[in-house]
Amino acid sequence: MKKYLVLVTLLSVFSLAACAGHGTSVKGKEIPIESAAVKLASDAKASGFKLITTSELKKSLDEGKKITIISTLPAEEDKNFGILPGALSAPLPKTEKELTPADKDNLLKVAGTDKEKEIVVYCGFVACRRSTIGAKILVDAGYKNVYKYPGGITAWIEAGYPIVK
């Protein structure tokens, strides 16, 4: 079952990456998308977090599913762009080298003590590493149902879904 989930995840990531520029005349964007998709798939496999798409997350929220959503963007970016409905803030740095014990402690505090609940972390866009760092921290801390929402606030806005300012 686990191999099936990894295969489905990889196929989903590559499908999303392949479709990202479909039908456009923009050139020079596919290689960074491909690199981000491969890195994302590798991180998910190595770290044990799952991936959730924009439509899957929206459906879960519309169905009233109890999910803890955490933005890992800096507070000023959350203020400028807005946040997903119900999202909590736990800002993280762009790289693991910049991560401080205080950053990690804050994320774990925001996530709460229930390690069985579903937690979705997000940041700005697919190549953004903040939510990957957050997902890894949560999995390493023993949280069982950790999802990274790769499209982040950019995909949510592109889909026309509501944000909270």
pLDDT tens readout for residues 85-123: 999 999 999 999 999 999 999 999 999 999 999 999 999
Q: For residue range 49-83, list pLDDT tens digits in order.
A: 999 999 999 999 999 999 999 999 999 999 999 99
Q: What's the residue count for the chain?
A: 165
> Mean of the per-residue pLDDT values for the chain?
86
Burial of 22 (0-12, 13-18, 19+ CB in 10 A): exposed
Give the residue from 115, 148, 123 showing the smallest Cα distance to 40.
148
Q: Which domains does the chain have, with CATH numbers?
A: 49-158 (3.40.250.10)
Cα–Cα–Cα angle for 44, 62, 21, rounded to 5 degrees: 50
What pLDDT is stored for residue 27 in this prediction? Answer: 59
pLDDT (mean) for 9-33: 50
